[in-house]
Chain A
Amino acid sequence: MSLIIKNALLVDGQRIDLLIEEEKIAQIAPAGSITKGSQVIDAKGSLLIPGLVDLHTHLREPGREDAETVDTGSRAAVRGGFTAISAMANTLPVADTAGVVEQIFRLGEATGLCDVFPIGAVTVGLEGKKLSELGAMNQSAAKVRIFSDDGKCVYDPLIMRRALEYVKSFDGLISQHAQEPRLTEGAQMNEGAVSSELGLAGWPAIAEEAIIARDILLAEHVDSRLHIAHLTTAGGVELVRWAKARGVKVTAEVTPHHLLLTDESVRGYDAVFKVNPPLRTEVDVMALRAGLADGTIDIVATDHAPHPSEDKDCEWQAAAFGMLGLETALSVVVQTMIETGLLDWAGLVQRMSTNPAKIAGYTDHGQVIAVGSVANLALIDTQARWTVDRNKMASKSKNTPFNKMELPAVVTHTIYRGRLVLADSEVREGAAK
């Protein structure tokens, strides 16, 4: 079984043919020079990049299969050009034991469209009181490397310190959802001019920044790695920049929606714009873009958070937090970072594939496109544009904030471990194992 991609463009401008045998890239040659092979994809000059890697995905299985499953989430992932996603721990039951993470890992394998790496909970039941069996999860078949109580903050400074220290023995990483709980009691949206006008309880930037600052100091003190999930404020970017300058081992992520949308979207009270952490201001958006461009923020992560319509089709206050992200991530980053001239495609690949794979230790992903690399790849029609239609998502849910928006760049093909899983933007039914 061999696969040829003809006439693809690499980010460095080379036009190539590429031969995949088994799982790996077997040959790269100038366009038009490779002819043998049982399956041929004509890239027609589309851009070939390493498959995208997401370190922040909510798949809802087990427990909320009405919102998303590992299967539908994997489909959404490959539609978005992802070959690896990381399933957050806030499932029902919580992924806080080896048993649950292995179950999710097996479901990912069974689906077989992309790698599904479970994230383990830092504390039992996400309650912030007692460390989960982090070592057992790491040593399980799922080989968990990232731990997070995402959705909740590891608020207790002592627990956070212990977690940061404990995972060092197996080079684990704590991904912190930075949210000071007391300052955000009942909070509904970013605190500022818009929240004051709309009469919605405010979520101050400081509630995020206070935890980021504390955790940076903790990580420095115990000399541990720290990852800041979904950074949203200009102040947070400053803190991470300061920490990196001091040599603290901190990495940070930003979501596509925080790169594009502001709290102005909340006017109208459409709960599709309700997300945790909340949409911030224009100033924050610009700081996040600048931070992602200059490397202060290492990666883009989707925080893909599916919710069934009854949890969004209601009063703002009663609605769930979260937005879909996998299928629109690349296009939103192209619009906010490439079309604005802040990043080139090589820079995008680094932040959506190379860096996240490196941070998480997903060694088969984010590799350079070279002979011998695992064939986790995506083909992008960079010239095409598409209109988001929430009724045509691969995800089981419809809560995309980008509905009806026209966005640049279409993912046409995704190749996962040498197998074509997405062709002409459609998931190949035969491809799922």
Chain B
Amino acid sequence: MMKTHLLSINDLDRADVISILDTAEELGKISDGASKKLPTLRGRTIVNLFFEDSTRTRISFESAAKRLSADVINFSAKGSSVSKGESLKDTAQTLQAMGADAVIIRHSASGAAQRLADSGWISAAVINAGDGTHEHPTQALLDAYTIRQNFPHFRNGFEGLHVGIVGDILHSRVARSNVLLLKKLGAKVTLIAPPTLIPVGASTWDVEVSYNFDDALPELDVVMMLRIQSERMQNSFFPSEREYSRQFGLDARRLKMQKSGGIVMHPGPMNRGLEISADSADSLQSVVLQQVSNGVLTRMAVLYQLLGGAPLTQQAGA
């Protein structure tokens, strides 16, 4: 049974995850029909609270909510928060007054979603759409959905599946959520990056760590490439973009080295020519576009699971 909020993959147990993926799958079948709108969340108000620019994620959540007939309010608060935290509280109280049923929050500060959920400022369900360098749980769910779509025999668990996550693990919320989710589903996970971009605590994560992409590739069913931010270079995480690209970029040569039948994923937006070459991004192994369309279905499933039933308090009374 899911909790009130989705802040971290840790809020879900394995059965919750499978149930979300199954729900997304059913929603996918329904969406193939002529009309794309379902009445499920009619009368519910969902707020997209984005303190950080992310058109892709916002649009994905927005179309998920709208396809379930929810009323969507986009609240862009970029630039007003990080310097002075009070505004998160003020904004939350404003949304509470507006009667929001759910708040989808994207914030540059790790823990902002949890802060919003736990603070008592607001009674709405909180969905973490990416908080700093902490987590991005719906991205991990849509990635798992995409993996399952491409490996149908791993329907009820990823035992026997080997996933490599390549790049800036240290600063990646996508990597954190994916590690938690993939381990929950039983996959073997290898983090592939220069040592500077592996968190010191990764030794406690029950994952393999490799500094050599070439060595790891032949074992990988799934290669998950992460976006590399060029500002990391200024902080000496790696010497140059070219060196990074040479050591950890996915190019045509490496693409051939991957285990046959494998897939390549990227949460986007891609830096073509840096962490992934154009021909790799557009190759048959690449499922990047599937990820995008699966994003809407997965988020619809999450919204349905969180808002499709009675509020928890009401259930307890019933």
Contacts and interface: CB of A to CB of B under 8 A. Distances in A.
B78 to A, nearest CB: 14
Given A192-B200, A315-B115, A318-B109, A199 B133 contact: yes
A430 interface: no
Given A191-B200, A314-B88, A315-B111, A199 B176 contact: yes
B85 A315 contact: yes
Contact of B83 (A188, A200, A318): A318
Contact of A317 (B86, B109, B135, B202): B109
A200 B171 CA distance: 9
Interface in A181-203: 188, 191-202
Interface string A90-101: 000000000000
A200 B110 contact: yes
A170 interface: no
Nearest to B180: A197
Contacts of A269: 110-112, 114-115, 118
B266 interface: no
B79 to A, nearest CB: 13
A147 interface: no
A198 B111 contact: yes
A191 B85 CA distance: 23
B86 A314 contact: yes
Interface string B202-215: 11110000000000
Interface in B66-113: 81-86, 88-89, 107-112
B16 to A, nearest CB: 20
Interface in A214-246: none
Contacts of A319: 85
B239 to A, nearest CB: 18
B88 A315 contact: yes
B267 interface: no
B209 to A, nearest CB: 12
Contacts of B173: 199
Contacts of B118: 268-270
A314 B91 CA distance: 11
Given A197-B176, A199-B176, A316 B200 contact: no
Interface in A226-276: 268-270
> What size tier do the contact residues of chain A reach?
20 to 34
Nearest to A316: B111
Given A198-B134, A199-B133, A199-B134, A315 B112 contact: yes
B199 A316 contact: no
A313 B132 contact: no
B131 interface: yes
Given A200-B110, A268-B118, A269-B110, A317 B201 contact: no
A118 B204 CA distance: 45
A201 B111 CA distance: 12
Interface centre among A194, A199, A202, A269 (most CB of B within 10 A): A199
Which of A188, A204, A313, A319 gathers the greatest number of chain B CB atoms within 10 Å?
A: A313
A191 B200 CA distance: 7
A313 B201 contact: no
B119 interface: yes
Contacts of A200: 110-111, 132-134
A322 to B, nearest CB: 15
A227 to B, nearest CB: 30
A199 B132 contact: yes
A310 interface: yes
A202 B199 CA distance: 9
B111 A192 contact: no
Contacts of B199: 195-196, 202
Given A198-B111, A199-B110, A318 B201 contact: no
A199 B135 contact: yes
A318 B200 contact: no
A197 B83 CA distance: 24
Nearest to B135: A199
A193 B204 contact: yes
Contacts of A196: 199-202, 204-205
Given A196-B202, A269-B114, A318 B176 contact: no
A184 B178 CA distance: 28
Interface in A312-349: 313-319
B139 to A, nearest CB: 14
Interface in A262-295: 268-270
Contacts of A198: 110-111, 134
B96 to A, nearest CB: 15
A319 B109 CA distance: 11
Nearest to A313: B89
15 contacts: A193-B203, A196-B204, A196-B205, A197-B176, A199-B133, A201-B133, A269-B111, A269-B114, A314-B84, A315-B82, A315-B111, A316-B110, A316-B111, A317-B110, A318-B83
Given A188-B110, A200-B134, 7 more contacts: A195-B199, A196-B200, A196-B204, A197-B176, A200-B133, A315-B107, A316-B111
